[in-house]
Every structure is written in structure tokens, then in C-alpha cells.
Amino acid sequence: MNRQLRLFCFLILAFATSLPGFAQEPTWQRLINSDKEPQNWLSYGGNYAAHRFSSLNQITPANVKNLAPAWMFPTGEVRGGLNATPIVMDGVMYLMGPMNRVFAINAATGEVIWKYLYKVTTRNIPYQVGARGLAIGYGKVYFGTVDNHFIALDMKTGRELWDVEIENTELCGCNVTSPPLIVKDKVIVGGTGGEHAHRGYLSAFDASSGKLLWRFYTIPAAGEPGSETWDPRMLKYGGAPTWLTGSYDAELNLVYWGVGNPSSDFYDEFRPGDNLYSNSIIALDPDTGKLKWHYQEVPHDMYDFDSAYECVLIDYQKDGQKGGKTQKLLVHPNKGGYTWVLDRATGKYVNAYPHVDVLTWLKGVDKNGRPIDMQPVPPDKETFVCPSAGGGRNWDHSSYSPRTKFWYNVGWEMCNVIKPEKLEIVEGKPLFGGGIDFKPPKDKAAYGHINAFDPLTGERKWRYLTDGLNVASLLTTGGDLLFSGDVYGNAFALDAKTGKKLWSFKVGGSVTGSPISYSVNGRQFVAVPVGMGSLVGGLSAMMWPDKMMPEGSSTLVVFALPETKGASRAK
């Protein structure tokens, strides 16, 4: 090999090894193309479009009745339950329990490979001690903590690689309760803080070192576009958190993130105006953190109707129009019981429709999707509003099946009385601006449901009435099944085409986490996190006090079909 060629090869090798994750799994290419690996579940939403769909089809409507526990894993800490989405790669599961306990587990047997028990730095934890999971990439496990740190572990050993404090949780009243999103060489982390005097943001860290690379504030600074939608006094304290996990479109190179409510929630003396970018969807350039577009769903929110939920990316074609124009949609359920549909390239409004039955806070939307005749919440009166601040649903994730072309979403029919109260503004301290009393709708009892929708038009294909309020996320599979669970301790499966209930199993605790499906050695598994951990999980007990709630737990229950000779392999 001549000298020039050796030098060229050396430079290529040096460049390649400088990239995060060189020779370390999962690589960025595996993460962004995870649909090609149905045996794994590589990210929080199942893929970067937030579909929560597995193409595995060994378990079907015909045999799901035979589904039985294969193994169980208790996390060893009941406080906080089990809200997490398990992550699976190549036969190893990575699971986060409450208090940021992390486990690597043999995904076929439940045997522990390693564990990491995070040492929380304060007793003053805001919001909750449970967590919704973690992310993996480049040989590392990444997660944020309940005391607002950003941690990386070695995937093979569980050894801590770094511990970076994002911001002092006792000073900001904020923390991290959801998994980060890995995008190329960055790990993007959101946070809570919508009920505190705090200014929300997204942070992007270097995936190799943990160094902060950029930060996008969800409330503009004085003089920036959007700052005119606030009283200047609230620019540092107006909430707008990023407490769930975003999505990413590789073709457009855009990260999409939902932004939560402004604070104070119910008392608005110090925040006249639309309060950007609260209750908005933001699209950012992940390389720079620069805003590319935004769309606000609930201007000047007075109801605690976050837009923080998942941004579902769907390439939509009407029935019978194969080969026709594909619409690149972003489908976004809002806490206020409405779903907005946008063009995800431009942020332009396409459609909006309700996903609950009982709505008092608006009369509809105009041609641009802006709410019409929003219900006032006077500071000196109590106001009955539907749905409640608990939401027309809460953080429990929807699912989209590319097989049925249905988008599946949860709905809650419950209301509240808002009681505004003026509070002193102290940085990092609670700033609800009042209280709420949960109530059923005025003319009927509270109820919940799971629905299948056409994601563009909102046409409802079927409805399943849930037992209480369904707090668990939804999972659909290539076997045309929908899996979830209820707060009374039942995991269940529905026919994804019809909504008919086909299977249920008593799991011993409330199901408030996010089921997934994966396979090992050709055997398909369905993993169901069990254990009440949601802040809104107790609403069912409030609405139905005569129904017995399960005791506290924090256990992963993993199901599979019985092993038989000649059984078909998952694919």
C-alpha cells in the first residue's frame, strides 16, 4: 500500500472513530431504521414516528386466548409504580423502575444481567418518583432523573459514565420523568415544570461526552419573537414544560416536541396574551436547536390543557388511492380532548376533531384550527369545565397500525370545577394558581374509552368502553391486536380491526405503563408494566369509590404463547 493510500485510510478511520457510537450498538442507522428489526423495541415510541406498533404476528386473534405469563420481574421499589417503556435489543431488555432504578435483563428468561440503583440527591422531588423509561444508543443507556440529572451508563456493565446536573431541582421545581430522544450525535432531554414558576426548555447533550450543546427555551426571551404574547414579568416563570418525548423525521431533519401549559395554570393576571410557545407543537433543527415552525393549539390556556403529548408521524393515503399523493401528517392529541392534524413539513393546519364526547371549553375550531369561543375562567368565580385538568386523556401513548391504517387513542369523560387563586410568584415554587374538584359530566356518570380513528378525518371506526379511566398506553401488532391494561389490574387484548375484547389476565396491580412486543429466538413476547405510578391514576378511585383498587406494585409481567414443537416463529 503506497503512502498516500495509507494516509487516506488513516484519515477515514480517524473520522469514523470520532463519530459517536462507532463500532458500538445500537448505531444511529439501526435506531432510525428500527422498523426493520421487529424482534427489537429500540426506542420509547417503538420507532421515531411514535407509532407504538410491532409488526410481529405470531400472536393472533385466533390464539391470543392462550397467552400466559412467561416470566415476571419486580423492580424492588413500589413507590412510583412502573410507568416505563421497556427497551429491547438483541435479546437484552433495559428497564427503568421508580427512583431511576435501571436493570439489564435477559429478555427471554427475566434473569438480571446487571442493575444500577441511582442515588437521588434530594427528598424534595417535584411531580413524581416514577419514570417512563430510558434510551439506548452507541453502547450507552441514557436517562434523566427525578432530581433533574442526565445520566449515561455503559450498556454492557451498567457502569456510570457521567452524571450531569441539568439544573438544581430544588431551585427550578423541575425534573425529568420521560425518556430522552437520540438524534444523530445528540441526546435531547425534556423536563417538567408547568406547575411551578419556571421557564421550560429542551436540552441537547453530546452523545459521546454528555456536554450541553444547545438549549431551546419554550418561552422567548424579552425582545424575541413571541415574547410580546406574555407580560414581561412572566418570561422567566411561565412554565411551558417539555415533559414527554418527541419524534423525528429524518427526511425533513426535524424534531417535533409537544409543549405543556403555562403557569400559573388557572390564574392569569400576569400572563395576558397567547403565551407562546405553551400549548404548542414546535419543530426544531436538531443540529442547531433553532425553531423551524410552531403551531399553538390552545392559546392562553386556562384549563391545564397541555400539548405535551406524542407527535405521531403518519404518511397518509386515502383508501383506494395507492400510488397517489401521500400526505405527510403530524397527528397530535391534546389534553383538552381535541386532536390536531398538521402538515409536518410546514406546520400548516390540516384538520382537527374531538376524541372525547363531553367538551365545554370550546365550540369548535376556525379555518386555521384556532379554538372558537373559548370558555372564560373568571378569577373570582368557580367554573365547571369539561374535560378536566386530568385531561381528555393523559400521557398514556396512542398507537398507529400501518396494517389497519387506524390511529388508536384513549378518551376520558370527566370534568372539574376550577377555583382560581392568586399566588405569590417565587422562582421554582408551585404556581397552580388555584385548585380543582373533579366531577362527572353534568348529565351522566364518568366513563372512559379506546377508539379507532381515521387519523386524518377523525372518522371513528370503533369504540371500546374501558373499565374506569384507561391510564396505560396502547400497543398494536402485526397480528392485528391491540394490547393495554386498566387500573383495576387487568391486562387485555382487543381485535384491532373491530375493538372486540379477545383476552384478559389479572396481573395483580394497576396497569399504568406502556406495553411493548419483541421476540427472542423466534418467540414473540408482550411485556406489560404493572404498578400504579401515574399522578392521575387515582382518578378512577375518585370517580368509582366502590370499586376496589389493587395494592401497590412495580412488576414487569411478560406474556407469550406456550412453547410447542413446530410452532410458527415470530416475524
Whether 246 and 255 have beta carbons less than 8 Å apart is answered as: yes
Known catalytic residue at 185:
no
What is the distance between the terminal CA atoms of the chain, rounded to a whole angstrom?
45
CA triple 161-163-169, angle to 5 deg? 165
Q: Count, in order, helices (H) and strands (E) of the chain.
A: 4, 40
C-alpha 486/C-alpha 335 separation (Å) is: 19
The residue annotated as part of the active site, out of 185, 304, 306, 486, is 304
Whether 107 and 525 have beta carbons less than 8 Å apart is answered as: yes
Q: Report the run of H or E that residue 14 belongs to, with start and end.
A: helix 3-18
The grid coordinates of residue 321 equal 388511492
Q: How far is CA 229 from its chain centroid?
A: 28
Give the DSSP letter string of 376-409.
Answer: P--TTS-EEESS-TT-SS-S---EE-TTT--EEE
Residue 506 three-state SS: strand
CA triple 54-511-399, angle to 5 deg? 30
The amino acid sitting at 207 is A
Whether 154 and 140 have beta carbons less than 8 Å apart is answered as: yes
Q: Indicate the pairing of strand 198-199 with strand 238-239.
A: parallel
Whether 196 and 430 have beta carbons less than 8 Å apart is answered as: yes
The 3-class SS string of 311-353 reads CEEEEECCCCCCCCCCEEEEEEECCCCEEEEEECCCCCEEEEE
Could you tell me which of 475, 473, 470 has the C-alpha nearest to residue 447? 470
C-alpha 251/C-alpha 454 separation (Å) is: 24
Ramachandran assignment for 391, one of left (phi > 0), alpha (psi -120 to 50 degrees), beta (any other): left
Whether 129 and 80 have beta carbons less than 8 Å apart is answered as: yes
Q: Which residues have a catalytic role annotated? A: 304
